[in-house]
Structures are given as structure tokens and as C-alpha cells.
Amino acid sequence: MSILSGKNILLGITAGIAAYKTASLVRLFIKAGAHVKVIMTPASKDFITPLTLSTLSKNPVHSTFVSEEDENAVWNNHVELGLWADIFLIAPATANTLSKMANGTSDNLLLATYLSAKCPVYFAPAMDLDMYKHDSTKNSFKILKGFKNIMIPATSGELASGLVGEGRMAEPEDIITFIEKDILKKLPLNGKRFLITAGPTYEAIDPVRFIGNHSSGKMGFEIAKVAANQGAEVVLITGPTHQNLSHSFVEIIPVTSAEEMYVASHKHFNDVDVAILSAAVADYRPKQVAAKKIKKKDSTLTLELEKTKDILASLGDIKEKQLLIGFALETNNELENAKAKLNKKNLDLIVLNSLQDKGAGFGGTTNKVTIINKNGNINEYDLKSKTEVAKDLINEILNNINA
């Protein structure tokens, strides 16, 4: 999944021959899962038709303040377009438009939207080589970079004039890669590796039966999603669940038993910066697993159980640089018990769920947590969706990483 998935991309097209390449650009954004709206300067319509772009973007194309096609003369709101966008890309960006942007001119819809936009602005210049080299153009680049606009440099090659040199708009694929990389490198968890455990474990009794629990895995999957969206590479080790997650930064390792989760967690722990153990691991498992299905005979059946390995405690024993986070589900003396667990298992943070809180714990879509760190700081959060709880936890982790 691309980091652009779900993002609102506003594409501003100005009057350069490279405008013909914006058809591919729109297609690539859509393929990456982004939503696209297009603004064209009036002169750019000589190079590519609005019909092509509205068809590909699945949205009407805007080029004037008042919609020409609509007999009721709907006003194209540049402020709304600017607010809608997560990213504003101006490609191709001509010397004329760049100069106007640098000087605050707003004599068309694209420029007025540029002045209103609050999101990151990228521009991909395209012009003939002498225009690209001109001091006035260089000055525009400098001013726009000073505005924190991001330049996607032109490349060298044959130009529309027949001359060869610098000034060709970057290719659509390269523009997309440039933006993706730029977004990623600015994410707070870029370069960090996470291990997350999620879901229940199933402990076999015989080939068809097991001891399990009601954990849905939702909390762990939400944490994995939030961490990955913030740039972390995540190894998600999960017991059997109905959750699914498709994200290019998340590697899912399915396991069944506590022993399998233990082995997988130890395999990856050395390579990670942060480990979050949210799985509801079985504390006990049948001592003997029957090789064949147990037949019903007597009126009672006794199973002898033995302790499983405590994955969290075993990672606490060997941890070096890693930040280690555990969960605690308590029914009484919650804070004391959670603090004791944090110390005993050598954790950096513990996330406490109290079964006395309505809407907390497993199964549901909400959770109410208190997060305690090893210095004794306690943050009590309101009842929230598990997505919001995951965001709070990741923020706490960021505070601890940066502390």
C-alpha cells in the first residue's frame, strides 16, 4: 500500500507542453489509492483537455472562479479546494506561474488556491533550458523554497524546442516516488522497527479442540496500523483472528499457540526498537496434547495444565536498547498491580485496562486505558475507539523515544 493511499491530492496544471503527461500522473495517483482533484490554468487547456482529466480523476476539473458548464453558475471555492487538499502539486509548473506564486499574484483559480492552501505544496518545473537557467526563475525557486514549498527538480533531456538540456518535467513515476519518499522521511517513526503481538493464542487439547480466549486482536491491529502510518516498519505476530490489514510496512506473522508466539517474538526482538505485547496469551496449556480426538466416556474429564512461557517477561530479561510495552488487564488494585508488573517484567510502559471500566478490554471496539511509564508518570485516558487509543499509545511511545 502506498503512503499516498487515502490522501487528497490537488493537482494544479499550468500551460506547458509537459501537461500531456498529467494524464499518467492522475492515473498513478488513483492507482496509489489517492483522491484527485484537478485545477487547470485557462491556457493549460490548449495542451490537455479537462474531459481527459475529469474522466481519469473521477472529479470535475476546475479552472475558473465560476463554473462554465453549470448554468446556475456555481462558484468554485478556492478556499475549500485548498482546505480539501492534503497535498497540492503543481505540475507542470511554468516559469510564469512560479513567478506569480513567488510574488503573491492571484489572477486565476490555481494561484488563488495556492495562496489559500495550508497543506504541503510541491512544484515540478517544466520549461526550456534558458528559461530554467534564468536568474529570475532561479529567484522564484529560492523564494518558493523559502515558503517551504518543495521543488521536484526538472531533469535533462530533449526539450519541446528541440534543444537538449535541463528543464524537462520529472517523469510522472518519479514525481510520485519523490512525493512518497518525502512524506515518509518526515514521518515521526521513519526508520524505527516495531514488534507487535496481537490476538488470542489457542492451546491444543487434541487435534480438534483447544483452550482459547475472546481476544479479537483489534487493539494490536490498530496499533500496528497507526505505527505503520507514522512510518514504522512493523512485524505483527498474531494469534488466530478475523482482523486483516494490508499495509506495505506491516509484515504479518500468523501463529497459533503461546509457544509459537514466543519463538516468533524472540526471532524478531533483536532487530526492533519498540516491542508492544498486546496479545492475550494463554497462561496455561494442556500438559499432554492427545494425539487422537478424545472420545467422550466418563461423566467428567480432567485436564492437567502447565504454565506457558511469559513472552513479555522473557523479553524484559534480555532487552537492551528496545522500548518494551506490556498490557495489564486487572480487576482490583489496578494501579498497584500494573506498576508491580511494569517493574517485575522490566517494562518501559504498561497499558492498564480495568475490567471495572465499561467499554474497556477485549472484544469491543472501544477501550479505556491508563498508561504508566517506568518513571511513575500516569496518564489516564477517556473511553475511546481502539484507533484513538492506539494513537494515544503511539504518542506516548514517541515522547519516550524522544525523551
Is 373 in the active site? no
Q: Does 222 bind ligand CTP (CB under 6 A)?
A: no
Which residue among 8, 77, 213, 346 is the active-site one?
213
Taking the least distance from each CB to ligand CTP, the nearer of 244 and 332 is 332
Residues, the chain = 403
Cell representation of residue 300: 467428567
As a whole number of angstroms, the distance between CA 188 and CA 95 comes to 34
Question: Could you tell me how many residues of this chain bind ligand CTP (CB under 6 A)?
Answer: 15
Place of cell 514521518: 187
Cell representation of residue 26: 492522475
Cell representation of residue 260: 509459537
Task: Name the segment binding ligand CTP (CB under 6 A); options: 24-32, 33-41, 123-131, 275-283.
Answer: 275-283
CB of 365 to ligand CTP, least distance (A): 20
Taking the least distance from each CB to ligand CTP, the nearer of 86 and 330 is 330
CB of 250 to ligand CTP, least distance (A): 18
Strand 121-125 vs strand 150-151: parallel, antiparallel, or unpaired? parallel
CB of 198 to ligand CTP, least distance (A): 9
Q: Does 34 bind ligand CTP (CB under 6 A)?
A: no
Q: Does 167 bind ligand CTP (CB under 6 A)?
A: no
CB of 351 to ligand CTP, least distance (A): 8
Place of cell 495562496: 115
Residues 227-256 that bind ligand CTP (CB under 6 A): none
144 and 150 Cβ atoms separated by less than 8 Å: no
Give the three-class secondary structure for 254.
strand
Q: Does 328 bind ligand CTP (CB under 6 A)?
A: yes
Taking the least distance from each CB to ligand CTP, the nearer of 94 and 265 is 265
Q: Does 390 bind ligand CTP (CB under 6 A)?
A: no
Q: Which of 68, 283, 336, 380 binds ligand CTP (CB under 6 A)?
A: 283
CB of 328 to ligand CTP, least distance (A): 5
325 and 351 Cβ atoms separated by less than 8 Å: yes
Q: Label residue 327 exposed, middle or buried (CB < 10 Å: 0-12, 13-18, 19+).
A: buried
309 and 316 Cβ atoms separated by less than 8 Å: no
Residue number with the smallest Cβ distance to ligand CTP = 311
C-alpha distances (whole Å) from 136 to each of 44, 140, 266 are 22, 6, 59
Q: Which of 203, 222, 233, 310 binds ligand CTP (CB under 6 A)?
A: 310
Neighbours of 172 (CB within 10 A): 20
Cell representation of residue 185: 522521511
Residue-wise burial string across 237-246, b where 16 or more C-beta atoms lie within 10 A, e elsewhere: bbbebebebe
Q: Which of 9, 124, 277, 390 binds ligand CTP (CB under 6 A)?
A: 277
Q: Does 221 bind ligand CTP (CB under 6 A)?
A: no
Task: Name the segment binding ligand CTP (CB under 6 A); options: 4-12, 125-133, 304-312, 383-391.
Answer: 304-312
CB of 51 to ligand CTP, least distance (A): 56
Question: Looking at residue 20, what DSSP letter applies?
Answer: G
| Residues labelled as active-site residues | 213
Q: Which residues form the interface with ligand CTP (CB under 6 A)?
A: 197, 258, 277, 279, 281, 283, 308, 310-312, 326-329, 341
